[in-house]
A = this chain, B = another copy of it.
Amino acid sequence: MTRLFPRLIILAWGLSAAIALAGDDRAGIRPAYEFDTQEAFDSGQIPAYAGAHDAVHDRIDADIERHIGELQRWVRQRSISAQDDGIDAMAGMLAGDLRRLGFAEVDIVETDGHPGVFGHYDAGAEKTLVVYMMYDVQPVEDNWQIDDPFAGELVETELGTVLMARGATNQKGPERAFLNALDAIIATEGTLPVNLYVVAEGEEELGSTHFDQVLAPYADRLREADGAYFPMNLQGSGGSVSLNLGVKGIVYFELRSAGGDWGGPRDNEIHGSYKAVVDAPALRLVNAIASMTSADGNTVLIDGWYEGLRGPTPEEQRLINGMVERDAFAGLQESLGVERWVQDLESRDLVLRYLFEPTLNINGIWSGYTGEGGKTILPQVATAKIDSRLPPGREPEQVWRMIRDHLDRHGYADLEIVQIEGRGYPAASTSVESGLVRTAISVFNRYGHPPAVSPWLAGSAPFYQFTDHLDLPFVFGGLGHGAGAHAPDEFMLIHPAEGVHAAGLAEVEKFYADLLFAFAEG
């Protein structure tokens, strides 16, 4: 979940009345998208799933203490991909759990990086679902709120009892909850209502650079499935659900200016007084980046940046109209700590910018002396970490080419573009009309949480592997609430306190079970 931001997912989408629409895009350089329809998608219009699976639900309730223990067992197994800490053990734990559940075919899949895990459960059912999992977690810093982020502690909070641990919500909690649901179904019914493929990777936090190698041996079989699903805690603490039908793509690189034949100090920093006669890599980097954007940093001036993009389809227009009606961004400024949106965008313009903007962003920049006081140097190298988020239709290779061309044409041929996590990947999205999405919405409605539906999230994840390479509808999400992914207070809600409307673990598992039944029946 490096790229797929969890905070938006837990955002409380407001339900206030529609607000006035703002004017056109103010930048001029961007395409202005006309809408063909004023219709607004309303997830509440999709009938709630009506199936009743009381025996499975009862089983979940009866086993909930053991189920909690299963989540604890998973978070206690370290699996920090960036540090190769516990990776093989966690892959083995997942594979073993699948075998115990009755998956007849379970493979540890070697890749050029950390291994993947493949599992197949043939229920002899009509429908087949591919379940994506990530078994790796982020590193932990020293500032954790509890002594041991791998102890699997249950902690009492205002929200209720939570599992506080690295991986609790990102992503072991919901994933193991999904397996608990399978366990309850199989214990009750003897088998599953759908056939399942599990495809898991141990490098999600590293950019999923070898995930294609996990999928490749099974691609022809996976392509025959009816959809793909990623279990995830989608509820805000208030209980509301936002369902994103896709993600943006991403390109991420370091841009680096270093002294060399062109000028500047080649080996070491030199004394700052020599700026009079020596080129400065830091000033060069700063000017190169600035040449790519407007003075306010909000409009990209690279040739072709806003060309060849597509506007919202009628279906996406309906979703966007629905987001505007539900005031989808209400509360988001407060939760982000942002006083205003760029160019004071609002309403539909704001949603369009969020969804359709190919961004250019500095994630980090560094050069020279960054300590206290005033060391006086001319640093020999300056580096920025830059990413671009890609809406549907913008391919990663286009971005690599546009940026290289821009630098070369503007006299910055000496600047190096350093690929640090592969070539990136494109956006992914699934139609709201697909059976899997309508099924998911019907189950959310069954639990009284008609989701706010967005065509995609502005965050990124390599879900194009499912939507493009395997040509499957792909849904990520479910009931459940967690927060603190990547942070020193990561948790997943287990038993909500009185008055908290987000689901506890038992309801999360019931949702997963119902989703499988509904999908089988749909």
Please list the residues of chain A having a beta carbon within 8 angstroms of any beta carbon in chain B. 2-3, 5, 7-8, 82, 206-207, 248, 250, 252, 259-268, 270-280, 282-284, 286-287, 289-291, 293-298, 336-342, 345, 350, 353-355, 357, 359-370, 372-380, 382-383, 385, 387, 389, 410-411, 420-421, 457-460
Contacts and interface: CB of A to CB of B under 8 A. Distances in A.
Contacts of A459: 271, 273
A275 B338 contact: no
Contact of A276 (B291, B357, B380): B357
A470 to B, nearest CB: 24
Contacts of A370: 364-366, 383, 385
Contacts of A411: 295-296
A368 B385 contact: yes
B282 A362 contact: yes
Contacts of A336: 265, 270, 274, 278
A297 B277 contact: no
Determine the main DSSP class of A at the interface with B: mixed
A261 B458 CA distance: 24
Given A286-B290, A339-B260, A373-B421, A273 B457 contact: yes
Nearest to A3: B376
A263 B366 contact: no
A283 B297 contact: yes
A387 B365 contact: no
A222 to B, nearest CB: 27
Given A270-B336, A277-B354, A286-B297, 13 more contacts: A82-B372, A259-B337, A276-B355, A283-B293, A283-B298, A283-B360, A284-B296, A287-B294, A361-B378, A362-B368, A364-B370, A366-B367, A368-B385
A374 B283 contact: no
Contacts of A338: 259, 263-266, 270, 274, 278
Contacts of A337: 259, 265-268, 270, 380
A342 B275 CA distance: 9
Contact of A387 (B268, B350, B376): B376
Copies assembled = 2
A420 to B, nearest CB: 6
A389 B280 CA distance: 15
Nearest to A412: B295
Contact of A7 (B207, B271, B276): B271
A339 B341 CA distance: 45
A478 B366 CA distance: 39
Contacts of A259: 337-339
Contacts of A410: 295
Contacts of A250: 376
Given A7-B271, A272-B389, A273-B458, A339 B261 contact: yes
B368 A374 contact: no
Contacts of A366: 365-367, 370
